[in-house]
Structure 1
Amino acid sequence: MFELGGDGPGAILVGVDGSETSLRAGSYAAGLARRQGARVVVLFVHTPPGAGILTAGLIEVQRQAQATVVDELRAEVEHHARLLGLSFAFYERHGNPYLELIRLADELRVDAVVIGASMRAGHRLVGSLATRLVRDAKWPVTVVP
């Protein structure tokens, strides 16, 4: 049985980290949401530092850098959402980006996930966040180059 008026996504989750591909993913999600009348859910995941840089000073530098990126992203999202007349929510989580994207998608029952493709060379060999989401997700996943 088909639902009347339920022919498109109601909520689109997009993962952003400040990279060029994540910003393109955000733009793509905003355009899709505008055309479909959907809500955009933006997620930034604060990632812990790598094991090789576990000094207090470097941890603080990374924390401050991520906080700056979040502030800039939040302002940009708010500005563009206002211009496009979009409904949006901005979330911050801490931990593993893959797990946090899945958790938030499940919590909010989103209809689609948009993510930027990884530009790291090593991800071609061991896989990337986008590859794992496409393989494991319960919702449509769009990977933006």
Structure 2
Amino acid sequence: MPAKEKDGLAVIVVGLDGSTPAKNASAWAAGMARREKARLVLVYVEPLLAPGGWAGVGAETAGETTVSIMVEMRLDAARYLDPVGVKWSVVHHRGDPARGLEAIAAEFEADCVVVGRSRAGGGKLGSVPKTLIADAKRPVVVVP
């Protein structure tokens, strides 16, 4: 990708997993992308299941679920982002969510990563935001 041509944010990566905090994060990121005239990269990181976990779900069913999630993400992006002029991309990645978000952010040369706050019990940050913050290569915004 070419060097940045503008001051401010050019690319914002946001992690989505269907949770309420992730939806809040995507709304915050979309508003920021609109104000900054930045590209918004919506990322679904599909966690890898151990083969033993396939028995209950089935590999084919898990794949169908991922396709369904990606279709819904694209439809929602078109519905909410196109009318306000936000440029967007939807990306699917498989693996560890924190490492996947960072890998996509590096690929798109993102200026920041936005995630929802996940709870690990006792009010502590969940593992994805905690890992992103600990290993940050760029600013990380955690939205409640």
TM-score normalized by the length of structure 2: 0.85
Instruction: Tell me the CA shift for residue 65 of structure 1.
Output: 2.1
Instruction: Tell me the CA shift for residue 100 of structure 1.
Output: 1.3
**Structure 2: which amino acid aligns with 1:89?**
S
Residues 75 and 106 of structure 1: CA distance in aligned 2, closer, same or farther (over 3 Å): same
Aligned partners of 1:140, 1:22: CA distance in 2, in Å? 17
1:129 pairs with 2:128: yes
1:34 pairs with 2:27: no
Aligned partners of 1:51, 1:84: CA distance in 2, in Å? 43
Aligned partners of 2:57, 2:117: CA distance in 1, in Å? 31
Tell me if structure 1 keeps the 8 A contact 2:73–2:90.
no
Aligned partners of 2:123, 2:53: CA distance in 1, in Å? 21
Tell me if structure 1 keeps the 8 A contact 2:116–2:143.
yes
Instruction: Tell me the CA shift for residue 97 of structure 1.
Output: 1.2
Aligned partners of 2:121, 2:53: CA distance in 1, in Å? 21
Residues 65 and 83 of structure 1: CA distance in aligned 2, closer, same or farther (over 3 Å): same
Equivalenced residue count is 140
Structure 1 gaps, min length 5: none
Q: Tell me the equivalent position of 1:106.
A: 106
Tell me if structure 1 keeps the 8 A contact 2:33–2:39.
yes
Structure 1's consecutive aligned runs of 4 or more residues displaced over 4 angstroms after TM superposition are none
Q: Tell me the equivalent position of 2:141.
A: 142
Structure 2 gaps, min length 5: none
TM-score normalized by the length of structure 1: 0.85
Aligned partners of 2:92, 2:143: CA distance in 1, in Å? 21
Q: Which piece of structure 1 moves more, 55-64 or 132-141?
A: 55-64
Tell me if structure 1 keeps the 8 A contact 2:98–2:132.
yes
Instruction: Tell me the CA shift for residue 120 of structure 1.
Output: 4.4
**Structure 2: which amino acid aligns with 1:139?**
R
Instruction: Tell me the CA shift for residue 103 of structure 1.
Output: 1.0
Residues 108 and 80 of structure 1: CA distance in aligned 2, closer, same or farther (over 3 Å): same
Residues 24-103 of structure 1 aligned to structure 2 (within 5 Å): 24-50=24-50, 52-55=52-55, 58-103=58-103
Any idea what SS the aligned residue of 1:109 has? coil
**Structure 1: which amino acid aligns with 2:134?**
R
Any idea what SS the aligned residue of 1:110 has? coil
Identity of aligned residues (%): 34
Describe the superposition over 1:10-51 as per-residue Cα deviations: whole angstroms up to 9, x where unpaired: 110111111111111111100001111111111111222256
Please give the root-mean-square deviation of Cα atoms over the aligned residues, in Å.
2.3
Aligned partners of 2:107, 2:70: CA distance in 1, in Å? 22
Tell me if structure 1 keeps the 8 A contact 2:13–2:43.
yes
